[in-house]
């Protein structure tokens, strides 16, 4: 497969991913429009610092991934290993946040009596938060599995083709991009209120 073909195929796939996430963002937009006040109040339950830290982690992982693409074999393993580690760290912090929300008793579908703590608009915000960040986390998990297989190939000196790395990179950056929109829409909404 030529580089051009690999990129074209991957972009077609990412294009379908964009459609997939658009549905989610549309849902968010309509409900935010309808429950603006509640969304701002519910956003106060977000752990802004953890979200900020996770954004820095993802941006750094994307940077390492981009550096890996055109570097020597040794450096590739180093950069990809770094990306993998940061991806794991991101997921760890994300699940720690879910744990904190569950402890607060406001994790949808898990916390009993959530309706006593939040009104219906605020509960919708939490539902959307878990749906959006959960779908994103799922994409991260798939990305990490693919990354682990590339690293294994490198480790056993069965180097993957350059276009395999290129496709991996495109996917990783796309998942990063989704987070860059999730972060302000969920975490920063209620900061000034």
Partner 1 sequence: MISSRSLHLTFAACLLLLLLTTAVAFVDLGAWGLVVNLTISGMKALLIGMIFMELKGDKGLSFFVVVLSFLWPLVLFGFTFADYLSR
Question: According to CB under 8 A, which residues from 56 to 75 bind partner 1?
Answer: 56, 59-60, 62-63, 65-67, 70
55 interacts with partner 1 by CB under 8 A: yes
Question: Between residues 32 and 94, which has the closer beta carbon with respect to partner 1?
Answer: 32
Nearest approach, Cβ of residue 175 and partner 1 (Å): 11
Q: How far apart are CA 15 and CA 37, in angstroms?
A: 33
139: its two tokens: 């994409």
- The two counts, helices (H) then strands (E), for the chain are 7, 0
Question: Between residues 70 and 103, which has the closer beta carbon with respect to partner 1?
Answer: 70
Q: How far apart are CA 98 and CA 33, in angstroms?
A: 25
Q: Do 125 and 42 form a contact (C-beta atoms < 8 A)? A: yes
- E strand intervals along 76-156: none
Stretch that binds partner 1, among 88-96, 97-105, 111-119, 176-184 (CB under 8 A): 176-184
Tally Cβ neighbours within 10 Å of residue 136. Answer: 21
Give the CA distances from residue 171 to residues 28, 99, 108, 134, in Å, rounded to whole numbers and listed in that order.
Answer: 23, 28, 29, 17
Q: Of the candidates 38, 97, 123, 176, which one interacts with partner 1 according to CB under 8 A?
A: 176
- Which chain residues interact with partner 1 by CB under 8 A? 4, 7-8, 11-12, 14-15, 18-19, 22-23, 25-26, 29-30, 33, 48, 52, 55-56, 59-60, 62-63, 65-67, 70, 169-170, 173-174, 176-177, 180-181, 183-185, 188, 191-193
């Amino acid at each position: 497969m030529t580089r051009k073909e690999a990129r074209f195929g991957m972009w077609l796939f990412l294009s379908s991913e964009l459609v997939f996430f658009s549905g989610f963002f549309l849902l968010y937009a309509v409900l935010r429009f309808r429950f603006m006040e509640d969304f701002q109040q519910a956003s106060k339950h977000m752990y802004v610092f953890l979200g900020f830290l996770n954004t820095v982690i993802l941006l750094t992982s994307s940077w390492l991934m981009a550096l890996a693409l055109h570097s020597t074999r040794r450096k590739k393993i180093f950069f990809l290993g770094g990306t993998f580690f940061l991806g794991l760290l991101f997921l760890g912090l994300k699940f720690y946040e879910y744990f904190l929300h569950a402890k607060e008793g406001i994790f949808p579908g898990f916390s009993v009596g959530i309706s006593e703590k939040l009104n219906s608009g605020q509960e919708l915000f939490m539902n959307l938060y878990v749906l959006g960040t959960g779908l994103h986390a799922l994409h991260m998990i798939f990305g990490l599995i693919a990354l682990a297989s590339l690293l294994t190939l490198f480790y056993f000196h069965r180097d993957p083709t350059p276009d395999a790395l290129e496709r991996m990179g495109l996917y990783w950056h796309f998942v990063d991009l989704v987070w860059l929109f999730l972060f302000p829409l969920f975490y920063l909404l209620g900061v000034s209120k």
